[in-house]
Structure formats: structure tokens, C-alpha cells
Amino acid sequence: MATLLVSHPASTRHEAPRGHPERVERILAVERALADPAFDKLVRREAPKATSLDLERCHTAAYIARLHALSPHDDEGLVALDPDTSMSTGTLEAALRGVGGALLAVDEVMAGHVDNAFVATRPPGHHAEPSTAMGFCFFNQAAIAARHAQARHGVGRVAIMDFDVHHGNGTQAIFWSDPSVLYASTHEMPLYPGTGGRDETGEAGTIVNAPLRAGDDGAAFRAAMETLVLPRLRSFSPDLLIVSAGFDAHRLDPLANLNLVEADFAWATERLAEVAEATAGGRLVAVLEGGYDLEALAGSVARHVGALMAAGA
């Protein structure tokens, strides 16, 4: 079978303030990398819009209505929700298609049409809490995708592995008391948003945090994966694995202080694909989160998607 790539031009219409790291050029760098002939065998689909019903699996109706009400018109410029997170005229559609793309990826993987999938959209999502936008994020596409898999496809256990350098506080909050979803994260600590300590394990013991320290390199990251994350994923035995694929732990990234390189992301993807193969028939959906150095982002995404393609070959 094959690997699915989901994207949409709306990702280029979410604008941020001048100088903001979560900028349009991020997705353009990803698109250029995946236009290489090495990726000609990808199955490419455009992301549909998510519905309010989809969003309400993880976000409150009042919050969804508030974002719709705040969405600016053409002559209104940007609307700041917090110092880091702003809406432009194109933000709402981009965020809705990011979620819709993740749901499409789940549908295609669960139907057996593809082995795995990568959703290349922006803005990211893992900081978004049930009623709060923050950290460049509006809707938590990884979390909504997990709930969609359970509601639409009858999936029992879903695992979400997040290797973005910033802890996914939103995903953790959504699944804090849910024994059917395992959330595992490697991240730099202390760093925004300040959550993600080893002692944060959730009411059901299904939160696994493996914090790293400033200056840690690929060896420390791989050790955390091998000693903490991968054993818990295997023992949880998910029916679907979702990856919050952020690439800002790269040594060149301006927003953090870890020293990973492209080969580390490829290695992690290979190990996660092995878990998915062993427990979930290979079913894996990855969604783009952070990554703010354009060269590092492009190279890391290329290695990540290449590893997904190899896993499905």
C-alpha cells in the first residue's frame, strides 16, 4: 500500500504578525521538500473542513462559537487572542482544514486504503485546550482525531506520541482522566508552556512525560524514547497511533535548546511505525506541529515522511 499526504492551500492563508515564527513560509518549506521526486509515490489528498460536531469531541461549543465570532473580516486586520496567538481572515478555515485533514487521514488509514498518513497543515494544535487557544494553536487536531477514531470507527485504544519540543498541554488536559487514550511526550523542560513533569501521569496513569533538559542531544532523546515512551506504548497496545510531529527539537530551531538532527526524527518515526505494526496493523497518522527553522523543518519532515513510506512499503 502507500502513505497518504494531506494538505490544503488554506494553510498559506493563516497569517501571523510580522516576525512571528509560525509563519506561512513554514508550510511552503514543507511543500517544497515533499515535491521532490522521492515522494512521487505519496497518495495526495486535500483536507476537508471539520464540522462543529467534529470539534465538539474535544472543545466546548462556547469556545468554538467564540472563535467564529472573533474571526476577522477583510478590513479588520489581525485579532490577538493572546500575545502569541492571533487570527487573520484565513485562520479559521486553515484551522478547520487542519482538523479535517487529520480526520480524513484517520478514515483512510482505518479503511485500509493506505498504511499511514502525514497531515501537512498549519496552524499547529497540541497546545489548544478544550476552551482555550494558546501557543499558536486553535483546535487540537491530534486529540480530535483520536476521538473521531473512537466514535466513527469503534477504535478502543488510541495512543498519541508527541515529540514536539514544547509539551502538549492541551492534549494532556483533554485526556487527563481517560484510560482509553495514552498520551506520551518528549519535550524540553523547563520551557513553554511549563507543563510536562514526570509526576504528571493523569488520573488513569495514561500520561507519560519524558522531559529533556536544555542542551540534550539525540542520544538523550533516544534514551528517553527507549526507556520510557516505547515500552509504555507497547504495553498499552493501541489500535491506532497518532503522532504529534513537531520538529522544533532540532538543533537549529530558534525557539528551543535541544540538539536533535534529522536522523533522530527518522529513527523515532521508524520506532513508532514498529509499534504501530506490532499493535495496530501499522495504522499510524502523523500531524504537523512545530518546527521554526525552515531548513531544519524541511529536512526533518522529509526524513519523517520517508520513514513512513518505508514502513508501508
Which residues in the chain belong to E strands, given as ranges? 3-7, 43-46, 79-82, 85-87, 116-119, 158-162, 181-188, 207-212, 240-245, 284-288
Residue 185 · residue 160 · CB < 8 Å: no
* CA pair distance 8, 62, nearest whole angstrom: 27
Provide the 3-class DSSP secondary structure of residue 136: coil
Active site residues: 127
Nearest to 188 by CA among 122, 275, 264, 251: 251
Residue 137 DSSP SS3:
strand
SS3 162: strand
Peptide bond just before 83 cis, omega within 30 deg: no
User: Nearest Cα to 174, choosing from 131, 232, 211?
Assistant: 131
In the numeric block, the cell 499547529 is attached to 124
CA 229/CA 205 separation, integer angstroms: 13
What nine digits make up the cell of 43? Answer: 497518495
Question: What is the Cα gyration radius of the chain?
Answer: 17
Q: Phi first, then psi: give them for residue 95, nearest 5 degrees.
A: -65, -40
Amino acid at 289: E
The H or E element that residue 80 is part of is strand 79-82
